[in-house]
Amino acid sequence: MLLIWKVDGSVLVIYNMGFMDHPVGELFEKVNDGQYHVVRFYRDGPNATIQVDQLPVQAKFPTGLFRLLLLLLLCYCVLLCISNIMTALSVRLYVTTQRKRRKVREYGRYIEKIDIL
């Protein structure tokens, strides 16, 4: 989503990368003076730049929250996978132990007790 607004005579661009709005704009140059103005807006991933006429470029490099959320999502997925693996291993260990106990019970009655003198 991309919105271009004129706020109090200034240009403001708001773009969304999926879950969060990112504003960038030239708030000190007024464009409501009846003249034509050139507004250049570039976006590369979450980063964006805007330039009004020949003024300096205003840049937005959002970091922090976006990367933190991705890192937390990655950690959650890894922990979920580890949990699933541990559950599968514990179930397998339990089943194996039960099988061994069953075999001992089945064959135990055929084994004679040896008395040590």
The reported pLDDT for the residue numbered 113 is: 57
pTM confidence score: 0.48
Instruction: Name the helix (H) or strand (E) containing 96.
Output: helix 65-108
Residue whose C-alpha is closest to residue 10's, from 68, 55, 66: 55
The reported pLDDT for the residue numbered 110 is: 59
Q: Reply yes or no on whether the pLDDT at 117 is more than 60.
A: no
Q: What is the pLDDT of residues 17-51, one digit of tens each?
A: 766 777 888 777 788 888 888 888 888 877 888 88
Q: What is the pLDDT of residues 68-83, one digit of tens each?
A: 777 788 888 888 888 8
